[in-house]
Structure 1
Amino acid sequence: MTQSAESLDPVTPDAIAPSAARRRLLYAGVAGAAALGGAGLAWWKFQPHAVEPGAEQALWGLEFDTPAGGTFAMKSLAGKPLLLNFWATWCPPCVEELPMLNAFYREQSAKGWQVLGLAIDQPSAVRKFLARIPLDFPVGLAGLGGTDLGRSLGNLTGGLPFTVVLGGEGKVLHRKMGQVTAQDLQLWAGLG
C-alpha cells in the first residue's frame, strides 16, 4: 500500500530543526556544563593535595645553600611555627607577596614565628633580586629540587607561589597554592 503525497503530513522547517532559541539554549547548556567541568578540574588541580607519608619528617633533615654562600639547616627552625614559602624571581605573584611576608616575619617573629623562603630559581637571579629587595627572613636556594619538595608537601602541579604553614611540632597545619593575602596571614598568625 502506498500513500499519496497529499495524505502525508506536511513537514515544516520547525519540525526538522529546533528553533534558534532552542539551539541557543542547548549551546548555552553545553557551554555551561563544559565550564563547570573545567572549573572543577582546575579547582582540583590547583588545590594542595595530601602530604606524602614521611615528607614532614624528611623536611626537617634538609639543608639548603644560601644566597650568601653558606648553608641553612631546616633543623635550626624546629620547635616553632614556620611559614615556608616556595617562590621564584620570575614569578610576579611571588615577588608581589614577598614584602607582605617580610612584614609578617617582622611582626610575628617576637611571638615565635619563623619564615623561610625557598627559591626555585637560579642562584645568580636570587642574589640579584635580594640585592634590590632585601628580606629579613632567611632564604634557601632550593633549585629544581624544591619543586620535588613542594610536590611531597601537596603541590602536585609545581605551581608558584606555594606556602606551607607548619606548627611548632613540625606538622603541616595549612597549605596555600597561589598568592598569600593579608587575611591568610592574619588567620595563620592565630595558629602559632
Structure 2
Amino acid sequence: MQRKWLYLILLALAALAAGVWMAQTRYAPQAPAAPALAALWQLGFPDGEGRRQPMSQWRGQVVVLNFWASWCAPCREEMPDFVDLRTQFRPSGVEFVGIAIDNPVNVAQFLRQQPVNYPILIGEGAAHSLARQLGNPSGALPYTIVLDRDGSIVLSHLGRLPRATLESALSKIKTQAKIGS
C-alpha cells in the first residue's frame, strides 16, 4: 500500500514539474525577431489629445516601453516607480513611454486620478499585437521592455517590474554610455 502511494506521489510531482516547465516555456518573454524591433520605430500611436506620436521620436534614447491597461492592478502599482525613475534618469537620456492596451476614455479617466510625468499613448488592440511581436507571447499585462540607445532590448519583463530590477538595468546602461563616450 505504501508503495502505491509513493508511486502516486512521484507521478503527481512529475506532472507538476512538467506543467511548470510548459508554463515557463510558453509564457516567458521571448526575444523578438529583428523585423519587429525595426518596425517599432515606424509605428505611431495617438496620445491623450488624439495626436499621433511617432515612436521614432525616441530613437537613440534609452526607452522604457511599458504596455499597460487602466484595469490592470499590477500596471497601476508600478506606475509610481516609473514616475520616480523617469525623474531620476531623464537627464541621462532615458524616456519612459506607456502604451495603453485600452480605450481613450478609460485612459483619460485613469490619468485624471493618477497623473504621470511620461508620455502615454493609446494603442488599443494594435498595441496588444505589438507586445506579442516584441516578446510577450501570452499577451498578459503589464509587459515592459527596455531598449538601449541602439534599439536593442536589454530587459524584458512580464508582470509587475520590481523597481530595483529596472533601476539596476538603467544604471548599467547609463554607466556603459559614459564608458563608451
The TM-score, its normalising length taken from structure 1, stands at 0.87
Corresponding residue SS for 1:117: strand
- Report the structure, 1 or 2, having the larger helix content: 2
Gaps of 5+ in 2: 175-181
Q: Which residue of structure 2 aligns with residue 191 of structure 1? A: 173
The equivalences for 1:1-192 within 5 A come to: 19=1, 21-189=2-170, 190-192=172-174
Deviation string, structure 1 residues 160-187 (Cα, Å, up to 9, x no partner): 1110110111122221111100221122
Q: Quick one: distance in 2 between partners of 1:75 and 1:53? A: 16
Q: Quick one: distance in 1 between partners of 2:31 and 2:57? A: 25
Q: Which residue of structure 2 aligns with residue 13 of structure 1? A: none
Q: Quick one: distance in 2 between partners of 1:115 and 1:30? A: 47
Residue 141 of structure 2 aligns to which amino acid in structure 1?
L
Q: Quick one: distance in 1 between partners of 2:28 and 2:39? A: 22
Residue 149 of structure 1 aligns to which amino acid in structure 2?
L
Q: Which residue of structure 2 aligns with residue 10 of structure 1? A: none
Residue 156 of structure 1 aligns to which amino acid in structure 2?
P
CA offset at residue 103 of structure 1? 1.0
Residue 114 of structure 1 aligns to which amino acid in structure 2?
E
Deviation string, structure 1 residues 81-104 (Cα, Å, up to 9, x no partner): 010000001111111111111111
CA offset at residue 23 of structure 1? 1.9
Q: Quick one: distance in 2 between partners of 1:117 and 1:78? A: 15
Corresponding residue SS for 1:51: coil
Would you say how many aligned residue pairs link Structure 1 and Structure 2? 173
Gaps of 5+ in 1: 1-18
Corresponding residue SS for 1:104: helix
Provide the aligned C-alpha RMSD in A: 1.1
Q: Quick one: distance in 1 between partners of 2:140 and 2:118? A: 22
% identity of equivalent residues = 32
The TM-score, its normalising length taken from structure 2, stands at 0.92
